[in-house]
Amino acid sequence: MLIAANWKMYKAPAEAAEFCVRLRDQHLDGVNVVVCPPFVSLAVVVQLLAGTEIGVAAQNAHWEPEGPFTGEISPPMLRELGVYGVIVGHSERRQYFGETDELVGKRARGALAAGLFVIGCIGETETEREQGRTEEVLRRQISVFEPDDNLVIAYEPVWAIGTGKTATPELAQDAHALIKSVLDVPVLYGGSVKPDNAVSLLTQSHVDGALVGGASLDLDSFTSICRAAARIPS
């Protein structure tokens, strides 16, 4: 079971450091934990979590190892920093920065080629679900990924991100089953995961963990989700 904390554009280095000092004192046996801070906080988080079992991932990466790409960060740069993995294709990248399926696929392939672990995000909007297009959208988004031992998919229904809405466990189970029928990789659920709904979501047989957003910003909330995951039989 993998629980990943996506801090988004929160926690500059000082706040990130305070969080990690407390996080490394927690006993989170029985679950794989990854923290995904903003770029400016990666170095301090890598330093403070060194020697623990907690991985550190970036929230994005360019597909080229280097080049004239102002404002971008390459996978080898992340590796040199001590970063373990990267999120690609988050719905906020797609929504606010115009990232296409093709770009997401390129980012994933570049990161995997550099030896990074990749969390590839997919998910339908509320309009797409209401139009009955969920399967079409998920199949299209999955098509840019290729099976890899270092790839997991995060299913994050866009209508459930930061809205307080959450897919029912049954909806999550169905979507994850569809994804796995197309691509044989672990699938995380992302979309307003909180301590009070984590168990019902994570006990679904096709759910292999969670990509946690807002609830990962509070230590007690995040560790509660991690401990709930640890108690679920594998």
- Per-residue pLDDT for 192 more than 90? no
What is the SS3 assignment for 193?
Answer: coil
- Per-residue pLDDT for 147 more than 70? yes
Structural contact between residues 43 and 80, judged by C-beta atoms closer than 8 angstroms: no
What is the SS3 assignment for 178?
Answer: helix
Average pLDDT over residues 97-105: 97
Structural contact between residues 230 and 28, judged by C-beta atoms closer than 8 angstroms: yes
Instruction: Clarify whether 146 is annotated catalytic.
Output: no
- pLDDT score of 163: 67
- Exactly one of 90, 124, 176, 206 is catalytic; name it: 90
How far is 148 from 98, CA to CA, in rounded Å? 26
- Exactly one of 62, 99, 156, 176 is catalytic; name it: 156
- Per-residue pLDDT for 89 more than 70? yes
Per-residue pLDDT band at 162 (split at 50, 70, 90): low
Percentage of the chain lying above the pLDDT 90 cut: 89
User: How much helix, strand and coil, in percent to the nearest 5, is found in the chain?
Assistant: 45, 15, 40
Average pLDDT over residues 47-73: 97
Nearest-5° Cα angle at 167, 164 to 171: 175
- Per-residue pLDDT for 155 more than 80? yes
Q: Which of 65, 90, 117 is nearest to 8 (CA)?
A: 90
Pairing mode, strands 117-122 and 151-155? parallel
- Per-residue pLDDT for 33 more than 80? yes
Q: How far is CA 22 from the centre of its chain?
A: 22
**Topology at the third CATH level for domain 2-230:** TIM Barrel (3.20.20)
Instruction: Clarify whether 156 is annotated catalytic.
Output: yes
